[in-house]
C-alpha cells in the first residue's frame, strides 16, 4: 500500500498544475495555452482512469486488470494535443508545416500500433510520443533564439512548458527504449524505473506549474513611444 501511494505522488503536482492552468480560461490567455491546459486535464483523466481501472473498474467491466490500453490511448490523445499546442506556438510557417507532418506521421503510426497492441505496453508508444515532443520543444527553443524580440525566459510560460516536455522525454528516452528488454530480463530493475519515471513526472509537472504561475508577455512597444518595459 505504501509503495502504491509512493507511485501516485506525481498526481499532486499534476493536479495542482491542471487546476492552476484554469487561469488561462479566466484571464483569456492565447489559444495554445488553453490547449496545453486541456492536455493537462486529459493527462489527469487518463491517469485517474487507469488507476481506477486497475483497482476497481475492471471487475465491473469483466475485462483484464491491465490498464495498458488506457495509457496507450492516452499517448494518442496527449500527442495530438501536444502537436496542436506547438503548432500554434510557432510563428514560422515552415516549422508549422514540419510539425504538421511529424505530428501526422507519429499519430498515424500510433493508431496503427494501437490496433495491433491495444492491451500491451510497447516501446514504440513511448518512442513515437517522445521523439516528436523533444523535436517540438527544440523547435520552440530555436524560435526563441532566432526571434528579434528578446523576452525574459523566466517569465515566459512557453519556456517552462518546453523545458518540462524536453527534460521529461529526453531523460526517459534510455529507460523507455529498454523497458521491454528490462521487463523480460530483470523485472526488479524494470519496476525500479517506475520511481525514476515518477521523479521525472514530478519535475515536469512542477515546471508546468511554474509555467502557469507566469503570464504571457506582451509585445514590446516601439522605443519611440516608451522606454523598454522589461
Q: How far is the CB of 167 from another protein (least distance, A)?
A: 5
**Taking CB under 8 A as the rule, does residue 38 contact another protein?**
no
Interface map 124-143 toward another protein (x if CB under 8 A): -----------------x--
With beta carbons less than 8 A apart as the criterion, state whether 132 and 110 touch: no
Only one of the segments 2-10, 12-20, 53-61, 173-181 lies at the binding site for another protein (rule: CB under 8 A); that segment is: 173-181
With beta carbons less than 8 A apart as the criterion, state whether 226 and 186 touch: no
Q: How far is the CB of 201 from another protein (least distance, A)?
A: 14
Whole-angstrom distance, CA of residue 34 vs CA of residue 28:
8
Helices (H), the chain: 2-7, 11-20, 23-26, 31-52, 58-61, 68-89, 93-116, 123-146, 157-185, 187-213
Closer CB to another protein, residue 26 or residue 145?
145
Q: Which of 19, 73, 182, 202 binds another protein (CB under 8 A)?
A: 182
CB atoms within 10 A of CB 57: 16
**Taking CB under 8 A as the rule, does residue 25 contact another protein?**
no
Whole-angstrom distance, CA of residue 189 vs CA of residue 191:
5
**Grid cell locating 153:** 525566459
3-state secondary structure of 118: coil
**Taking CB under 8 A as the rule, does residue 196 contact another protein?**
yes
Q: How far is the CB of 52 from another protein (least distance, A)?
A: 31
Only one of the segments 58-66, 72-80, 93-101, 166-174 lies at the binding site for another protein (rule: CB under 8 A); that segment is: 166-174
Size of residue set near another protein by CB under 8 A: 28
Q: Which residue has the cell 528579434?
A: 148
Whole-angstrom distance, CA of residue 116 vs CA of residue 131:
21
Q: How far is the CB of 153 from another protein (least distance, A)?
A: 5
**Taking CB under 8 A as the rule, does residue 228 contact another protein?**
yes
**Contacts with another protein, residue ranges (CB under 8 A):** 141, 144-145, 150-154, 163, 166-167, 170-171, 173-175, 178, 181-182, 185-186, 189, 196, 223-224, 227-228, 230
Amino acid at each position: 500500500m505504501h509503495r502504491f501511494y509512493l507511485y501516485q505522488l506525481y498526481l499532486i503536482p499534476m493536479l495542482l498544475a491542471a487546476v492552476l492552468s484554469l487561469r488561462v480560461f479566466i484571464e483569456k490567455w492565447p489559444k495554445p495555452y488553453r490547449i496545453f491546459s486541456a492536455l493537462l486535464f486529459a493527462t489527469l483523466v487518463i491517469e485517474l482512469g487507469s488507476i481506477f481501472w486497475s483497482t476497481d473498474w475492471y471487475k465491473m467491466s469483466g475485462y483484464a486488470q491491465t490498464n495498458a490500453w488506457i495509457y496507450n490511448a492516452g499517448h494518442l490523445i496527449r500527442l495530438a494535443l501536444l502537436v496542436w499546442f506547438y503548432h500554434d506556438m510557432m510563428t514560422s510557417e515552415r516549422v508549422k508545416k514540419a510539425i504538421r507532418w511529424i505530428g501526422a506521421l507519429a499519430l498515424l503510426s500510433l493508431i496503427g500500433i494501437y490496433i495491433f497492441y491495444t492491451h500491451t505496453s510497447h516501446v514504440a508508444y513511448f518512442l513515437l510520443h517522445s521523439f516528436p515532443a523533444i523535436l517540438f520543444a527544440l523547435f520552440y527553443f530555436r524560435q526563441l533564439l532566432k526571434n528579434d524580440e528578446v523576452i525574459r525566459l523566466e517569465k515566459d510560460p512557453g519556456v517552462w512548458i518546453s523545458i518540462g516536455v524536453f527534460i521529461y522525454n529526453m531523460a526517459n528516452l534510455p529507460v523507455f527504449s529498454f523497458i521491454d528488454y528490462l521487463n523480460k530480463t530483470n523485472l526488479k530493475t524494470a519496476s525500479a524505473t517506475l520511481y525514476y519515471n515518477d521523479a521525472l513526472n514530478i519535475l515536469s509537472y512542477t515546471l508546468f506549474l511554474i509555467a502557469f504561475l507566469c503570464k504571457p508577455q506582451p509585445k514590446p512597444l516601439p522605443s519611440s513611444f516608451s522606454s523598454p518595459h522589461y
